Amino acid sequence: MIPVCTAIEANRPDALCSRGAINVQLAPYGLTYKALLVRVEKRLAHGTQFLASYTYSHNVGANVGNGFSLENALANVGPSPNDVPHLLNVGGVVRLPLSLDLGFNFSFASAAPFTAFLGNIDFDGDGTTGDLLPGTTVNVFNRGLDRQDLARLVREFNARYGGRSDARGTPIPQLTLPTSYALGDNYHSLDIRISRSIPITGHSRATLLLEAFNVYNAANLSGFAGDLTSPGTFGQPVSRATQVFGSGGPRSIQLGARFAF
C-alpha cells in the first residue's frame, strides 16, 4: 500500500507517498490477423498480360465499442470492424486493333461485419450502454449470423426482456425491425483505361487516355446503423465506401493526354 502524502511530503520528490489516484491504462483489445495470399500472373504475346490476387483472412480478438464491459475488458471477442475474409483483385492489359491498349482492374471485398445493439441499455450494470443484443457477440452478423438469426433473436428478446428494466432501471422497449434494412454491403468496382500511343518525332510521343472508374456504378454502401432501439435508422447506410473521384466512388470518366520527350 502506498500511503497518502502529508502536506509536507506533497512537495518532496523523494517522498514515498501518493498525492492522489494512480491511473493505470490497459489496452482493452487484442487482435490476431491470419491470412493466405494467392497470386497468379501470366504474360502472353503482343503485350497482353493478366494478374489476379486473392486474400483469405481473419482478424479476430477482443474488441472495444459496443458490447465492451468494464467488468471484463477482454470478454468482447469477435471479428474486428475491418475484418475482410475475401479480397480479390483482377487486372490486365490487352492490345486491341488500331494500336489501342485496354487496361482494366476489378476489385472485390467482403461486406464488413455488423453488430446489433441497444443504444441506451445497460444489461450488466457496468455503467456503459449500447450493450449487444442478447444471444449475439460483437460483429457476429455477416460472420456466422444473418437476417433470419436477427429476426429470431429479436422475437426472443421481446418475449424475455421487453417491458422490463435494465440494471440501471431504464425501461427496455419492445423491438421492431424495419420493413427494409441491410446488415452491410460488399465492395466491388470495375475500372478501365483505353489508351493509344502516337509517335511524334524522334523519341517524342503522345499518349491519349480515356479512363472510367466504377463502370457499372456499384453503390458500395457503408456505415450501416446497428441500434435496434432506433428502427427508423437501423440497417440503413449513411455513407459510401469512398466519395473521392476514382475507384469505388460514383461512376466517373476522364480524358487525358501525356507527352513524353
Q: Dump pLDDT digits (tens) for 191-214.
A: 999 999 988 887 899 999 999 999
Q: Are 111 and 184 in contact (CB under 8 A)?
A: yes
Supply the range of the domain harboring residue 111: 29-260
Range with lowest mean pLDDT among 31-40, 119-128, 243-252: 243-252
Domain presence at residue 159:
yes
Q: Are 136 and 159 in contact (CB under 8 A)?
A: no
Q: Give the model confidence (pLDDT) of 129-167 as tens digits.
A: 999 999 999 999 999 999 999 999 999 999 999 889 999
- The yes-or-no verdict on residue 188 having pLDDT over 90 is yes
What is residue 243's predicted lDDT score, i.e. its pLDDT?
67
Range with lowest mean pLDDT among 3-12, 20-29, 140-149: 20-29
Domain presence at residue 17:
no
Q: Is 56 helix (H, G, I), strand (E, B) or coil?
A: strand
Mean per-residue pLDDT over the chain, rounded: 92
Q: Are 69 and 138 in contact (CB under 8 A)?
A: no
- The yes-or-no verdict on residue 244 having pLDDT over 80 is no
Q: What is the C-alpha to C-alpha distance for residues 54 and 91, in angstroms, rounded to an integer?
A: 12
What is residue 92's predicted lDDT score, i.e. its pLDDT?
96
Number of structural domains (the chain) is 1
Q: Are 162 and 153 in contact (CB under 8 A)?
A: no
Q: Is 147 helix (H, G, I), strand (E, B) or coil?
A: helix
Cα-Cα-Cα-Cα dihedral sign, residues 146, 153, 238, 35: negative
Q: What is the C-alpha to C-alpha distance for residues 259 and 206, in angstroms, rounded to an integer?
A: 4
- The yes-or-no verdict on residue 245 having pLDDT over 80 is no
What is residue 160's predicted lDDT score, i.e. its pLDDT?
95
Task: Calculate mean pLDDT across residues 46-59.
Answer: 94
Task: Calculate mean pLDDT across residues 9-21.
Answer: 90
CB atoms inside a 10 Å sphere around CB 193: 17
Domain presence at residue 113:
yes
Segment (H or E) for 73: none
Segment (H or E) for 148: helix 147-160
Segment (H or E) for 105: strand 100-109
Q: Are 110 and 86 in contact (CB under 8 A)?
A: yes
**What pTM was computed for the model?**
0.82
What is residue 1's predicted lDDT score, i.e. its pLDDT?
81
- The yes-or-no verdict on residue 109 having pLDDT over 90 is yes
Task: Calculate mean pLDDT across residues 60-68.
Answer: 90
- The yes-or-no verdict on residue 73 having pLDDT over 90 is no
Task: Calculate mean pLDDT across residues 2-19.
Answer: 91
- pLDDT over 90 percentage in the chain: 72
Using only C-alpha atoms, what is the Rg of the chain?
A: 27
Beta strands in 180-251, from DSSP E residues, in sequence order = 187-199, 205-213, 221-222, 239-240
Domain presence at residue 237:
yes
Q: Are 131 and 137 in contact (CB under 8 A)?
A: no
